[in-house]
């Protein structure tokens, strides 16, 4: 499965890569902000996206809105420090399928990935 990791922190992308690799995902692409991600989705064609919210140049929420408006249908999990309920609602309205609040354990991220993919497969 092809997974796009969108986060301005290389540390966070590396942590996510480690968890995804243990889950058996080996086709991983990285983007350092929303603009970078937009430039990569057409060619990489991800089947799952993990997206941070607060990033320079283009934030994650704006990216998700643009990705959806351009016809992107793959599941998106927002992985962010933005934990307020109003933010979660805003993200879901923008087209986010699931939500992980930083800090997170490997088990939490793994569980959210599995439940997101299961949910989308059943839809």
**Where do contacts with another protein occur on this chain (CB under 8 A)?**
8-12, 14-15, 18, 54-56, 80-84, 101-105
Nearer to another protein, 52 or 72 (CB): 52
Residues with Cβ within 8 Å of 14's Cβ and at least 6 positions away in sequence, in order, are none
Structure tokens at 67: 């990705």
Nearest distance from residue 42's CB to another protein, in Å? Answer: 26
Cα–Cα distances in angstroms (integers) from residue 96 to residues 21, 41, 70, in the given order:
23, 16, 15
- Complete DSSP assignment for 20-57: HHHTT--EEEEESSHHHHHHHHHHH--SEEEE-SS-SS
Nearer to another protein, 37 or 75 (CB): 37
Nearest distance from residue 10's CB to another protein, in Å? Answer: 5
Nearer to another protein, 25 or 104 (CB): 104
Nearest distance from residue 104's CB to another protein, in Å? Answer: 7
Nearer to another protein, 43 or 107 (CB): 107
């Amino acid at each position: 499965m092809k997974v796009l990791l969108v986060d301005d922190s290389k540390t966070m992308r590396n942590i996510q890569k480690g968890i995804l690799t243990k889950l058996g995902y080996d086709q991983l692409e990285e983007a350092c902000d929303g603009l970078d991600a937009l430039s990569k989705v057409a060619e990489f064609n991800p089947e799952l996206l993990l997206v941070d919210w607060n990033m320079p140049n283009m934030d994650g929420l704006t990216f998700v809105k643009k990705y959806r408006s351009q016809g992107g249908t793959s599941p998106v999990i927002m992985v962010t420090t933005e934990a307020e309920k109003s933010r979660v609602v805003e993200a879901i309205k923008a087209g986010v399928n699931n939500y992980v609040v930083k800090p997170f354990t490997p088990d939490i991220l793994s569980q959210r990935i599995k439940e997101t993919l299961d949910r989308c497969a059943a839809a």
